[in-house]
Amino acid sequence: MTKVSRYYSTARGRDHTTITAMTDVLGLAGLLFVGAQLRLPLPFSPAPFTLQTLVVLTAPYFLGKNRAMAGMALFILTGLGGHAAGVSLFSTASGATLGYLLGFLLTPWLMSLFSDTNKGMLAAMASGSFMILFLGTLWLHLFLGLSFSRAMLVGFLPFVAGDVVKIGLACSLVRGCRRSSCALVDETR
């Protein structure tokens, strides 16, 4: 099975594997935090437009599936822990956004099922974006009591155009990195 990129820089030695993994996971959680802060509230939707999806769609190509999923999990758990303590660290625990966050967590796994060609990357990112939006919409419907059509109107459709732009940008970033030989990962990470 050909998966997410295999271009791993061999400059990193095996002695630094644990430190590198921890740095990757912490760095991804930090980038998700920054992406959450760069948001545009939508008056008709309980979920804001953020740049987190861009981070989610590129992370598997730069960190690998497992580290990307670990970084997403750290971000979500930290945000939920802060919310439970009465501190809104990441603004992740609003009832409206938990479905999208579950999509963030599962997207690297889904994307790893696609080939590593340009078409495969585009299909992987489109599928990941769809899963995020679908799970967010399903959460709005099942747990917040919105009708499914209303959930689609406020939780899916307003984000499609922005996600198309983010998919294009994410594909360009990964392709540009491949052309410039910057370190992308093998699937063992």
CA 26 to the chain's CA centroid: 14
Fold of 14-179: Arp2/3 complex 21 kDa subunit ARPC3 (1.10.1760)
Read off the DSSP letter of residue 165. H
Give 30-88 pLDDT, tens digit per residue.
999 999 888 899 999 988 999 999 999 999 999 999 999 999 999 998 887 766 565 55
pLDDT (tens digit per residue) in 101-130:
999 999 999 999 999 899 999 999 999 999
How many C-beta neighbours within 10 Å does residue 169 have?
A: 14
Q: Does residue 163 or residue 13 have the better pLDDT?
A: 163
The per-residue pLDDT for 61 is 94
**With contact defined as beta carbons under 8 Å apart, do 53 and 166 qualify?**
yes
Give residue 67's pLDDT. Answer: 96
What are the start-end ranges of the E strands in 33-177? 39-40, 49-50
The pLDDT of residue 157 is 97
26: pLDDT strictly greater than 60: yes
Q: At how many degrees (to 10) do helices 157-179 and 118-144 cross? A: 150
Cα separation, 123 vs 110, whole angstroms: 10
Least confident of 25-29, 51-55, 121-125, 178-182: 178-182
Residues 6 or more apart from 99 whose CB is under 8 A from it? 135, 136, 137, 138, 139, 140, 143, 155
pTM of the predicted structure, to 2 decimals: 0.84
* pLDDT beyond 80 at 95: no
Confidence category of residue 94, pLDDT binned at 50, 70, 90: low
Q: What is the pLDDT of residue 183?
A: 58
* Domain positions in the chain: 14-179
**Percentage of the chain lying above the pLDDT 90 cut:** 63
